[in-house]
Homo-oligomer: A and B are copies of this chain.
């Protein structure tokens, strides 16, 4: 059984395989009247698009998004929005060997065991190409957020890549757009570049860690107990290919702290409560506090490396495999816009869930 939908009221179903005719996202629950244009969605897809520099895969995927429904005269109508991206650069011959062999660290073997059939071309449904559909859907979510919560801003960036870490003392969000790693630390770019060049030339790969910060999130988002804001963010991030861990605020480090060290004290500001610190990552009891919402997630190194690895065939014979093809040395880089997109979807979803307590008029007036 498969479950390809996420969201409670803003529901996104992604579909498509890496080497089928197309992939996309079916979005149900977008509020009506939101300005949506293909060109605006394309901006986010281009951010994720591979082949933009030497640190991402050299596959050419133009990833042109088409809007097939749900938008009329430039605005959402409240009906399902269908976003389609045609697959174009499908060099299927690159993947010939994997028809019979399972690539270690990939989902080849588990899809086979679960379904008894798999589209082996490029990972099929388990390919990271699926994240293009997420980014397109995230573009719609951002457009709706812009209308509903204009002060809300989502920013993603890397904070670690293998042994390379950013220096928080030099943290500057303005630097993110100026380097290929989306890191907020200009002085680290050269080291990161040299490090990844080394791995790339060796045919190796490396993991990474992405941090997401949402500012301007209104207090009150989160549907306790099982749709807590942190719960839904954790699920959203963990559903991204290759993600192995998710944390909010202090995260795993909270295991280390005492109650005194972890407390965010409260005082009254001009426009509401203020907090002395943000160990909580902007979420208490699963509900947003109004502070920045901080999420981090770890992406494992891609398993596609040039070193031969032991594996088996469908018929159960021991063998070896080298994953050829054109791969990202650090998939964590391209995970940045994907994480941002997922966060946009989750925040919009909870913004919509949070309505409904008091009366309001319907939008369509007559007379």
Contacts and interface: CB of A to CB of B under 8 A. Distances in A.
A286 B107 contact: yes
Nearest to A3: B227
Q: Which 9 A-B pairs have CB atoms at the shortest separation, nearest pair first?
A: A107-B285, A316-B367, A116-B363, A3-B227, A245-B247, A110-B287, A205-B259, A15-B80, A355-B356
A69 interface: yes
Contacts of A33: 115-117, 357
A204 B258 CA distance: 7
A260 interface: yes
A222 B110 contact: yes
A21 B68 contact: yes
Contacts of A53: none
Nearest to A31: B357
Interface in A210-235: 218-220, 222-228, 230-232, 234-235
A82 B367 contact: no
Contacts of A22: 68-69, 82
Interface in A126-160: 126, 130, 148, 160
A96 interface: no
Interface stretch (A57-65, A71-79, A186-194): A71-79
B300 A254 contact: yes
Interface string A90-126: 0000000000001011110111111111110000111
B1 A29 contact: yes
A312 B267 contact: yes
Copies of this chain held together in the complex: 4
B255 A332 contact: yes
**Central interface residue in A245, A358, A359, by most chain B CB within 10 Å:** A245
B257 A162 contact: yes
A177 interface: no
A251 B253 CA distance: 13
A217 to B, nearest CB: 12
Contact of A162 (B117, B256, B280, B312): B256
B363 A110 contact: no
Contact of A26 (B15, B256, B276, B301): B15
A111 B284 CA distance: 9
25 contacts: A1-B353, A2-B28, A2-B78, A4-B225, A5-B226, A20-B69, A21-B69, A72-B124, A75-B117, A77-B118, A107-B286, A112-B364, A114-B222, A160-B255, A162-B255, A204-B258, A226-B239, A254-B301, A259-B303, A260-B305, A261-B301, A272-B367, A273-B366, A315-B367, A352-B356
A356 B362 CA distance: 10
Contact of A69 (B17, B226, B316): B17
A226 B317 contact: no
A266 interface: yes
